[in-house]
Every structure is written in C-alpha cells, then in structure tokens.
Structure 1
C-alpha cells in the first residue's frame, strides 16, 4: 500500500494525472486525464513502478510458466520492454495496424503455438486496444490468461477482458488514486465526487 500512496502522489504532483474537463481519444468526456507516457521521464519513479509491477505479478500468478511478455504500442510497450528486460524474458508486441512494407505483419517478435504470454499495458479504459492485441496473438495459438495495467480507469475493461478469458490486474485504480489524493488534501471533495460518479455511471451503462 505504501507504493500505491507514494505513486498516486507522484502522478498528481508531476502532472501525469490531471483533474478537470477533458475529451478522450474516443470522444468521451472525462473528469480527469492520465498520461503514463510521462513516467519514463522520471527514471527513479519509473524503475520503482516496474519493480512493483514485477513483485505484483510474481505474487499473484508467478513467472515460471510465462514464455513471453507482450504489449500494444505505444504506452504499454515501454513498460513491457522494461519488465521483459528485468526478467530476461522475450518481448513481442502487436501493432494497431499492419505496416505497409516488408512482411506486413501485425505481431512483431517470435510467437509459437502454446506459448504462455503475459500482456502488459499502461492504462485500461474499455479494454479495446488490449483485446485487439489478445485476439491477434491468439491467432498464432498462444495462451493468454492474464493482463496487467498500471492504472485501471474502471470503465468496462475488466468485464470486456473476462469475455476473452483473460483476467485484468492493476497496480492502481482511479478510485484509489482519487481517495489517496483527497485524504492528503491534494484534491477537494468535488474532484473525488466527480471521479466516483464517472466510474459509477460507466458501470451502470
């Protein structure tokens, strides 16, 4: 829990998470915006995050039968690369669209039937990009049962991945972050209320 508290505070103080009125890439309105692509600009915190991710995966599912680490560009790929490097595990990634030259493949890296793959991403919202990656990897006969993200926005990704037979895990979720910042008086009641209502509204829809 100490990591969660420290990391949530760091995300806010460094402007990686901002509260206000934002329009997401999907066109949806949001009361906050989180850009984890900024974390590698803070090497000590980035390394701490990777180490904590490594510990969490080790405790929850273990690495013994994981053959490869996978991700989807771009946010998650930096995290997956660092984790694969720490573990000395192969890395693969799934492009959002095939390149128009060379082999034109979507999956970069070596994948084989029955390989057990752990999928990593930065932020989970609806789970769309992760699901595309899962489906593409499974075409090669690989096995994916678990996916990890740093921040879960709690906007449907858990249930969407469950339908694909994949369990979603996270280091932090947005309610945890908002509550920690509220307890430290870094955000006021209205910010916490807006975040909670946004999550509740998504879960009801």
Structure 2
C-alpha cells in the first residue's frame, strides 16, 4: 500500500523558503499533476486507520480539500473547508495560524458544538496550523474523533500532540536529507 505516494514523494523537488526546506508534491502543492491512484491510496489508508464515526470531515484550504473530497466520496460523510477568506457569515470564527514559512488567518464556518469531526490536513511540520485549529475547534465544542496529517515532516506530529493533547494520525513520515525527501516510515510499517 502507498507505493504511488512513496514514489511521488521521493521524486519531489526541494525549494528553500528562507531556512525552511519545502518539498513540492501533488499532495501538498497540487503540482505536478495528482495521480488518482495516490488519492485512492491515501483515502484507503485514512479509511483503515481513522475513526470515521463522524458528522463531518473538516479540511484546511487549500491542500486539504482534495484529501477531504476523496475521503468524503469513499465514506459518504460531508466535508467542510476551513477557508483563508473571510465571508462574514453568522457564527464565523477566525483563527490565526503561524507556520514555518508564513502566517495568516483562517475562517471556520458551518461547524457546530457537539458535532463529531475528522480533521485532515496535508502536512504537519512545525505544527502551527493544527495547533491553532485544534485549540479553536475544542473551544467551539466540537468532538475531534481523529486528526489526520497525511504527511509528517520532522517533529511536527510530536509538537502538535504535546501542545494539544490530541493524537495525530500520520500516513507517511518523511524528512529532507541532503536535498532529497527520505521516507522514514508509513502507517503500514
């Protein structure tokens, strides 16, 4: 399992953003083109290991959207996108996030206290996005059944778990060594 995903990640070019080593991949960037087999592999892995007894799948714009859509199609669970744009809708909640390469506000709509959710994002590396979101989602009274970071880079998962007390399910752990993506382990290992 995850053979297409591993091949794609290992062939990812590396771009420096200041001191941050950023890998460019369809999962995390939408380029090059996403092979549907990769989405299928990822969806099957999440389906196999995550708690899917949820009311909604919650994704972070932009690169969580395709992951949530694939999972939604496989499970018939609706998904909601936490957006980078403010709409000003009633009940909208603003969240400030700081990552290894920038900061911005995110906006939560159509999530309600007591709902059971699966939170999915493409990558956890510094933990900035997931920490801010988990804390806010808990404050809103949501029941986070599973938190999934498809790709774990460095110590991101550990940072999020320590800061929030929430377990993070990662599908693939990788790091960048000598300018290349190195797969350290997968969820199946």
Q: TM-score, normalised by structure 2?
A: 0.71
Question: Per chain length, whose mean CA-contact separation is higher, i.e. which structure has more relative contact order (CA < 8 Å, sep 6+)?
Answer: 2
SS of structure 2 residue aligned to 1:172: strand
Q: Where does structure 1 lack aligned partners over 5 or more consecutive residues?
A: 179-188, 200-205
Show CA shifts across 1:60-102 (max 9, x none): 2342x22210011111122112212321112122234633x45
Alpha-carbon shift at residue 120 of structure 1 (Å)? 0.6
Q: 1:40, 1:80 → 2: CA distance?
A: 19
Q: 1:62, 1:120 → 2: CA distance?
A: 12
Give the aligned partner of residue 16 of structure 2.
22
Give the aligned partner of residue 163 of structure 2.
163
CA RMSD of aligned residues (A): 3.1
Matched, 1:6 2:1: no
SS of structure 2 residue aligned to 1:167: coil
Change (3 A) 1:41 1:34: closer
Q: Which runs of 4+ in 1 moved over 4 A?
A: 189-192
Give the aligned partner of residue 72 of structure 1.
60
Q: Larger deviation: 112-121 or 156-165? A: 156-165
Q: 2:153, 2:41 → 1: CA distance?
A: 19
Q: 1:40, 1:143 → 2: CA distance?
A: 35
1:119-130 matches, cutoff 5 A: 119-130=119-130
Contact 1:127 1:161 in 2 (8 A): no
Choose between structure 1 and 2: higher helix proportion.
Answer: 1
SS of structure 1 residue aligned to 2:134: helix
Give the aligned partner of residue 108 of structure 1.
109
Give the aligned partner of residue 133 of structure 1.
133
Q: TM-score, normalised by structure 1?
A: 0.66
Contact 2:127 2:160 in 1 (8 A): yes
Change (3 A) 1:40 1:135: farther
Alpha-carbon shift at residue 119 of structure 1 (Å)? 0.6
Q: Where does structure 2 lack aligned partners over 5 or more consecutive residues?
A: 93-106, 185-189
Give the aligned partner of residue 37 of structure 1.
29
Alpha-carbon shift at residue 9 of structure 1 (Å)? 1.7
Give 1 or 2 for the bigger CA radius of gyration.
1
Alpha-carbon shift at residue 195 of structure 1 (Å)? 6.6
Contact 2:152 2:170 in 1 (8 A): yes
SS of structure 2 residue aligned to 1:166: coil
